[in-house]
Structures are given as C-alpha cells and as structure tokens.
Amino acid sequence: MGRFAGIALTIAIVVSSALAGAAQAGSRQTEPGPVPGFVAELGGSRARVILVPGTGDPTGSDQVGRTDAWWEHQRVTIVPYPAAFGIRVGPIVLGLIGNGTFDDSEAIGTRAATRVAKAAAAAGRPVIINGFSQGANIAMNAAHRLVRSGAITPRNLTVVLGADPRFPNTGVEALAPSMVPGVTTDGPREPSDMTGVRVVSYCIRGDSMCGLANPMADPIAAAFYFAPGYYVHAFMYPKVGSYRQVKTWRDGDTEYHVYDGGNPVGIMLRDMGVPVDKRFDDAVSRAVRVPMPGVAATRHRQQVPTPRMLQKELYRRFGWQLPVTDPDQIGAQRRVKPVARHSYSRKPRQTGLPRAFCPRQVDMARFTEAGRCDGDVTQRRVNGR
C-alpha cells in the first residue's frame, strides 16, 4: 500500500506540477486583495527585497502581481532563473515547463539569489528574500548559504515563503518520496535550523503544494482536491490578504500563517465565473474534508506515516543515503552516522548473553558485536519481543 501510494503520489505531482506551471505561464492577472497583516512587520524602507518567482514564471510577473502592494516602500530585485520543471529519463532531459530539470532550475536559482542578496547585504541593507513555490525552496537555500558563509548576519535577514513545498506535514515535498530523476524531494524543513533569521511561511488551505492530504491517511481527499488545489496554487494568492486567517503558530524561528478562502472546488468555480455560494462550499467540505496545512494526519493518536517517511525508513534500514538537494538536508545527512550493517553467520561465536535470554530473531539495533545469540537454540522472547 505504502509503495503504490508513494508511486501514485509522485506521478500525480509530476503531472500536476507541469499543468500548474503551464497555467501560471499563461495566467491572467487576478485582482489583488488587501495586504496580509504579517507584511507590516517585515522591515522598513531600507530593506532590499529579493523576489524569487515560482515555476513557469521566469520573468517574475506573476509574483510581482501577488506581492506588488507588499513592497511599496522597498526596492525590489527579481531573481532571474529558468523557473523550469523537467525530469530526467536516462541521458535525456524532458523539459515539461521551460528548459532543464526541476533540480537544475532550483540550483541555478539558488546561485542567482545568493549572489543578489549578498550584494545587497554588502551595501549594509537589511535583506528580505521572498520566494513562492519553487522560489520558496530557492529562498531558503540562499538564506542557508548566506548565513553559513557569514555573508549576512541573521538579524539582517528575513525570509518570506509562499506556498512552500516543504511546509510541515502537508507540503508536497514533505509527503512525496524521491522517485523521479530530476525532481528531488527534501522533506519538511527544520524550523529552528537558522537561529536568528526570521522566517514567515504562509499557505492557503486547499493548495496542493503546501496543504496536501497524506494519501496514506486520506487518499480520497488527496485525490479529490489535487486539481482544484493546483488551481488555488496558480491563481488565488493575489487574494490571500482577503481570506480569513484560520491558523497561526510559531516553531523555532519560523512563524506560520494559514488562510481559508473556502472550499478549493468552490474557489475554482467562482473564479471561473460559476456562481456557487458558501452553502456549496460547506456541502463539499462536509463530504470531503479539506486538509488543514501544517497538521499531521493521525490515527489512534499516532501520526500516520507519509510515503516519504516510509521511503526514509526503508533507506535507513538498508544503510542507503536518501537523495536530497537542499543544503539544510545535505548538512543534516553529514551529521547522521549511517546504520551499521552486520553479517551474521549461521553459528556465531559464543557470547556473554545467557542462552535463555536470546530472542528468536536478533534485532541488530539492540545487540552489540559482543552480544550475539546462537540461532540454533530455541529461545524465549525478551521484553515482549
């Protein structure tokens, strides 16, 4: 079940990301709503804003449309990068949106954003890096590079993430395993990874990029809201300030904001000119619950594993290294020692463990090299195992 759910989710993400990117590439300008409340706290007029657009928006026109009113008093620089979404099939790169793979696009964008932000910091200005979707990954990657290299002090850096694919528990990269070459998923972010840097992350409820249901817990909601959720992702963020804020919390140096504009199906239909009202939204939401961004799916008070969590555990058991591309995850892997792998002969040497206390199946994580058991002896279980 877990394997097939992971494969299905990965395929759906590749297809829908391409469609959403295509929609953004040809998107019409949506009338912007009020400025979200958190924007007023993001810095004064001296701050330099580095704008990192999302997939299918290499010129940044869509991201400017979403946030133009946010930065009326700051100088804004748009980071040029491919904003592409593609996969690798053997030696061939299949560019679904733009040229190159998603990973290549993200790497190019990270270098460009780091260079632009470093120049602004050298001028003594506070820096705000604002990234959306793929640009959110780039914004955080650049922030990691800047802080780790000492190019900017944490108190002079703010990162604003819109529709972050690595939003905790419900971000598409927090759920999907890394199975498609060229589209690496990096899991959820560590919210306290960069002490002193202010990070603000916001998501519209129903957005399939940051508010996706865990398919292992609620496959119906994951499938039902996938397409409407990508419509919300591509078109509705200019109105985020007009939506009701339903959840906010802080974890480490990151503050999260969740906005609710109604049921994703209703939002999509109304934006397309179909006159459905709140009663329609309520009826659809009762039939299929809309996931709450940031909230982990649970069953019997235990978190339901995501496809990515299952992949991570499988790799850990085999001593393999999970593919990652973002600098925070690369650094985390370097700090984790790989699981030791032992080969056991049919008749291990005599050990200090009493024969009566050896489990029938040896758990390698619980027994040391000097504590092996004789597999030919019938043993009783230890500690309920």
For the residues of 289-306, what is the DSSP string, one character each? Answer: PPPPTTPPPEETTEEPPP
DSSP code for 230: H
Please tell me the pTM assigned to this model: 0.81
Task: Specify the range with the lowest mean pLDDT, choosing from 42-46, 162-166, 176-180.
Answer: 42-46
Could you give the angle at which helices 307-318 and 2-25 cross, rounded to 10 degrees?
A: 120
Question: Following CA atoms 20, 23, 27, 32 in sequence, which dihedral angle do they give, to the nearest 10 degrees?
Answer: -30
Contact 207, 293 (CB under 8 A): yes
Pairing label, strands 244-251, 92-97: unpaired
Q: How confident is the model at residue 24 (pLDDT cuts 50, 70, 90)?
A: low
pLDDT of residue 363: 41
Alpha-carbon distance values, 321 to 156, 220, 338, 363 (Å):
35, 32, 8, 21
Q: What is the mean pLDDT of residues 281-289?
A: 98
pLDDT over 70, % of the chain = 79
8-state DSSP, 320: P
Given a cut of 80, whether residue 206 has pLDDT beyond it is: yes
Q: Which of 93-102, 253-262, 277-286, 358-367 has the lowest mean pLDDT?
A: 358-367
What are 83-119's pLDDT values in tens digits?
999 999 999 999 999 999 999 999 999 999 999 999 9
Instruction: Give dist(CA 215, CA 175) in Å, integer.
Output: 8
Each residue of 112-140: pLDDT tens digit? 999 999 999 998 899 999 999 999 999 99
Q: Which is nearest to 276 in space by CA: 286, 265, 285, 287?
A: 265
Output the CATH code of domain 26-335: 3.40.50
Q: Give the separation between CA 159 and CA 152, rounded to whole angstroms.
A: 13
**Are 245 and 35 contacting, i.e. CB atoms less than 8 angstroms apart?**
no
pLDDT at residue number 366:
37
Task: Please give the average per-residue pLDDT across 312-328, as a whole number.
Answer: 93
Q: What is the SS3 string spanning 104-142?
A: HHHHHHHHHHHHHHHHHHHCCCCEEEEEECHHHHHHHHH
Can you tell me the mean pLDDT for 201-216? Answer: 98
Q: Answer yes or no: is pLDDT of 370 > 90.
A: no
pLDDT reading at 352 higher than 70: no
| Pair 266, 281: CB distance under 8 Å | yes
Q: What would the pLDDT profile of 217-274 be if each residue is shown by its tens digit?
A: 999 999 999 999 999 999 999 999 999 999 999 999 999 999 999 999 999 999 999 9
The alpha-helical segments, DSSP class H, found in 39-130 are 61-67, 102-122
Q: What is the pLDDT of residue 3?
A: 52
**CA–CA separation, 271 and 88 (whole Å):** 35
- At residue 33, the pLDDT reads 83
Three-class secondary structure of residue 3 per DSSP: helix
Band of residue 332 on the pLDDT scale cut at 50, 70, 90 = confident
309-318: pLDDT as tens digits: 999 999 999 9
Residue 187 structure tokens: 């899991």
Q: What is the mean pLDDT of residues 313-342?
A: 79
CA 206 to chain centre: 15
Which whole-number Å values give the CA distances from 275 to 226, 255, 270, in the listed order?
A: 22, 35, 6
pLDDT, residue 351, reads: 44
Higher pLDDT: 46 or 335? It is: 46
Q: Which tokens in the block code for residue 354?
A: 């009493």
The mean of the pLDDT values for the chain is: 85
Question: Given pLDDT bands bounded at 50, 70 and 90, which one contains residue 23?
Answer: low
In the numeric block, the tokens 């994951």 are attached to 222
The model's confidence at residue 30, banded by pLDDT at 50, 70 and 90, is low
The predicted pLDDT at position 337 comes to: 55
pLDDT surpasses 90 at 319? yes
pLDDT value at 329 more than 70:
yes
pLDDT at 335: 63
Contacts of 22 (CB under 8 A, 6+ apart): 56, 97
**Three-state DSSP class for residue 355:** helix
